[in-house]
Amino acid sequence: MMLIDTHAHLYLPHFENDIDRVIGNAKMNNVGRILMPNIDVRSVDPMLRVCSAYPGLCLPMLGLHPTSVKADYAGMLKTLEGLLEKENFAAIGETGMDAHWDTSFMDQQKRSFITHLEWAEETGLPVVIHSRSTMDTIIRILKDGYSKKITGVFHAFSGSEEQAREITEMGFMLGIGGVVTYPRSGLAEVISKIGPEHIILETDAPYLTPVPFRGKRNESAHLVYIAGKIAEIKGLTIEQVAEVTTGNAHRLFKLKRE
């Protein structure tokens, strides 16, 4: 059995004192790939260092997180675009829009997101989308001109069944993480109605820790609890969930099978 953690920030300071142990735990829990989304210009070097330390296991993405989009976002995008031409990345992201805490830069977030979609179209890489409190807006943007040109995943999906169907009908994946284990989230009911062929797994480590470790630091080893919850919801074995979701991740990110 092999699992793929399609979204983890293992380069953050949360892991600087025990990254070897975290990676070892992931391997012991059948995690065979860990994809790392970028946050901003400053996070690129730490991310690439971790990926270089664990080649073949940790794979980098490139993007500007929507909460990092401020008045100077255009300069940051220019810097990142230069890196896109020099390094090999598995995806464009983490990008998107976020209206949960601060709506001061929503126009800039939208322009940044569209730039990332253009990068995805130009490179053929999938896009990893952050859509907190903006899912319907992002779906409209994709439908208005990009959904037939690119593919990708809605990271940390926690929307409705209707939103899930709109997303999957465009050919995008649902990134399912620890929220599916939260009893009050309602996500388990949505996932019960969506085929596993539309799902990839993620932790978003160090955030969104699944039950039974909720409240503690998340890490890639906890992916097995997310897979187990989906197996319970779908009436499948965890091995079946691993086979389908790992296959989905291989195809979406064009990963080489070992």
CATH of the domain at 241: 3.20.20.140
pLDDT tier, 258 (very low <50, low <70, confident <90, very high otherwise): low
Mean pLDDT of the chain: 97
Q: Is the pLDDT of residue 256 over 90?
A: no
pLDDT in tens, 196-243: 999 999 999 999 999 999 999 999 999 999 999 999 999 999 999 999
pLDDT tier, 46 (very low <50, low <70, confident <90, very high otherwise): very high
DSSP string covering the chain:
--EEE--B-TTSGGGTTTHHHHHHHHHHTTEEEEEE---STTTHHHHHHHHHHSTTTEEE-B---GGG--TTHHHHHHHHHHHHTTS--S-EEEEE---SS--TTHHHHHHHHHHHHHHHHHH---EEEE-TTTHHHHHHHHHTTTTTT--EEETT----HHHHHHHHHTT-EEEE-GGGG-TTS-HHHHHTTS-GGGEEE---BTSSPPTTSTTS---GGGHHHHHHHHHHHHT--HHHHHHHHHHHHHHHHTPPP-
In a domain, 135, yes or no: yes
In a domain, 208, yes or no: yes
What pLDDT is stored for residue 91 in this prediction? 99
Task: Determine the average pLDDT of the residues in 176-190.
Answer: 98
In a domain, 97, yes or no: yes
In a domain, 258, yes or no: no
Question: Range of 221's domain?
Answer: 3-253
In a domain, 55, yes or no: yes
CA distances from 120 to 37, 86, 125, 129, 227 (A): 14, 16, 5, 12, 28
CA distances from 201 to 97, 113, 138, 255 (A): 21, 23, 21, 15
Task: Determine the average pLDDT of the residues in 15-33.
Answer: 98
Count how many domains the chain has: 1
Task: Determine the average pLDDT of the residues in 23-36.
Answer: 99
In a domain, 149, yes or no: yes
pLDDT in tens, 115-169: 999 999 999 999 999 999 999 999 999 999 888 899 999 999 999 999 999 999 9
φ/ψ region of 77 (left if φ > 0, alpha if ψ in -120 to 50, else beta) reads alpha
pLDDT in tens, 53-85: 999 999 999 999 999 999 999 999 999 999 998
Q: Is the pLDDT of residue 257 over 80?
A: no
What pLDDT is stored for residue 133 in this prediction? 98
In a domain, 94, yes or no: yes
In a domain, 111, yes or no: yes
What pLDDT is stored for residue 194 in this prediction? 98
